[in-house]
């Protein structure tokens, strides 16, 4: 596979050109994209600052117009950027700065007076990539370098690319997690402990391997769904990209952690590689939108959908999933539908009691929304009969979908009730009535067959 540090450097080039691609005028695209392609320029996306990371609205770098004869002929950019991929080696920078009309992107060439790349940062992981701060001290660029030719378009241009740049980072998390599990699986086939191979011990496989393989397959299904929609020319998928990014990177990070544990003491050694994978994949939960920023984006958008639909958003999805289960029994759609209906009711009580004024509640709902939608993607994938890039046979993938759907249903009810009961919104008879409303008994009955599905997945993963 490709080292995640190298992949990050390539992502940096892609990110750096994105503001030009989505926001540049035809003339700007022809000039700058042509130079990148023909001259092989390294590009950097200079957005993050010491006091402003994922939340771009708080950047402090300023772009001051240079006025001659009553018109703007140039801008002087001053400020500091932090953690810039390719920062000290780039030939070209797309810099986000606050102009009088609002945040705007500017193209800045290496060597422009006042532009000073800092030293390469020593990092926990992705050490093969260059990461450096930038200092801009009255860096003057011609007005033609204002991308789009209009001030105040920077945040919109940045948001336009989140749908797919976050899917790219999601793929990094998926790939790293899979690579870590592959090494743990190979180790489990050869390591004897207590008279038998590790791969023959459900206490090892069902804790350290199978749950993470399932989570990665769920993330894969959602990534493929979003990527397919992007390939078909859809836009406005920023939230779907955030769901993919949050789910896949957290799953990849957890899988790498489990892979170290699965190796025992050897997992801590360089020779077995899983410790490096863990150091590398950790950054995917941070860059291109932290997990928490993704949670906030998901929560705010899905909360808006809940209000606009008068509570029907996830109920409608549940109805559609029930039909999917009719057409493809055992695909996990029915289990997911129960979780979706429970989520709708949890959100409605949260609305009635105004619980989302508490950010923790809002973030919890965002996480649960993501869980349900990822489960939906996996169930629909199984129902379609198209395994996509999964290496699991269809019956095994169906078992994985059921396992994930059960996990989601338990998480939705568990975390959701913790919010409602913990806030005092439900108690006594009201709590009992709510449990009946969300059909908690049916959700618990859905756990039937869980151990058998875990066994099926383990056997497939460790088959010769």
Q: Which residues are known catalytic residues?
A: 288
End-to-end, the C-alpha distance of the chain in Å comes to 22
Cβ atoms within 10 Å, residue 43: 25
Is residue 192 classed exposed, middle or buried when 0-12, 13-18 and 19+ CB atoms within 10 A define those classes? exposed
**Strand-strand pairing, 115-117 and 102-109:** unpaired
Nearest to 255 by CA among 294, 290, 220, 211: 211
Cα-Cα-Cα-Cα dihedral sign, residues 313, 318, 320, 321: positive
Task: List, in order, residues 6 or more apart from 286 with CB less than 8 Å away.
Answer: none
Is residue 40 classed exposed, middle or buried when 0-12, 13-18 and 19+ CB atoms within 10 A define those classes? exposed
């Amino acid at each position: 596979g490709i080292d995640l540090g190298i992949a990050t450097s390539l992502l940096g080039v892609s990110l750096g050109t994105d503001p030009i691609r989505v926001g540049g005028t035809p003339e700007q695209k022809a000039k700058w994209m042509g130079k990148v392609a023909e001259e092989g320029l390294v590009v950097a996306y200079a957005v993050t600052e010491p006091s402003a990371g994922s939340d771009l609205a708080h950047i402090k770098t300023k772009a001051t117009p240079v006025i001659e004869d009553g018109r703007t002929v140039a801008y002087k950019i001053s400020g500091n950027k932090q953690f810039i991929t390719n920062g000290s080696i780039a030939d070209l920078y797309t810099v986000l700065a606050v102009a009088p009309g609002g945040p705007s992107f500017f193209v800045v060439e290496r060597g422009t007076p006042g532009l000073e790349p800092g030293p390469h940062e020593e990092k926990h992981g992705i050490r093969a990539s260059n990461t450096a701060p930038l200092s801009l001290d009255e860096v003057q660029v011609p007005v033609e370098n204002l991308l789009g030719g209009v001030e105040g378009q920077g945040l919109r241009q940045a948001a336009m690319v989140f749908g797919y740049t976050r899917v790219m980072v999601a793929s990094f998390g998926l790939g790293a997690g899979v690579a870590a599990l592959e090494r743990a699986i190979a180790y489990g086939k050869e390591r004897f402990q207590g008279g038998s191979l590790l791969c023959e011990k459900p206490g090892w496989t069902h804790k350290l391997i199978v749950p993470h393989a399932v989570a990665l397959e769920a993330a894969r299904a959602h990534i493929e769904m979003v990527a397919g929609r992007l390939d078909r020319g859809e836009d406005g998928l920023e939230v779907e990209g955030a769901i993919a990014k949050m789910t896949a990177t957290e799953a990849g990070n957890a899988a790498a952690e489990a892979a170290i544990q699965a190796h025992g003491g050897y997992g801590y050694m360089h020779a077995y590689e899983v410790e490096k994978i863990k150091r590398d994949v950790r950054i995917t939960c941070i860059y291109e939108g932290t997990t928490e920023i993704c949670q906030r984006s998901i929560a705010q958008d899905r909360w808006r959908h809940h209000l606009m639909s008068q509570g029907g958003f996830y109920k409608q999805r549940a109805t559609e999933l029930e039909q999917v289960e009719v057409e493809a029994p055992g695909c996990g759609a029915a289990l997911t539908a129960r979780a979706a209906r429970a989520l709708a009711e949890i959100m409605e009580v949260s609305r009635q009691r105004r619980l989302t004024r508490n950010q923790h509640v809002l973030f919890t709902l965002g996480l649960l929304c993501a869980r349900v939608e990822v489960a939906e993607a996996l169930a629909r994938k199984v129902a379609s009969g198209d395994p996509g890039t999964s290496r699991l046979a269809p019956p095994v993938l169906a078992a994985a979908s059921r396992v994930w759907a059960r996990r989601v249903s338990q998480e939705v009810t568990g975390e959701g009730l913790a919010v409602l009961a913990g806030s005092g919104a439900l108690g006594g008879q009201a709590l009992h009535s709510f449990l009946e409303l969300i059909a908690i008994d049916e959700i618990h009955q859905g756990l039937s067959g869980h151990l058998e599905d875990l066994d099926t997945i383990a056997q497939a993963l460790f088959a010769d």
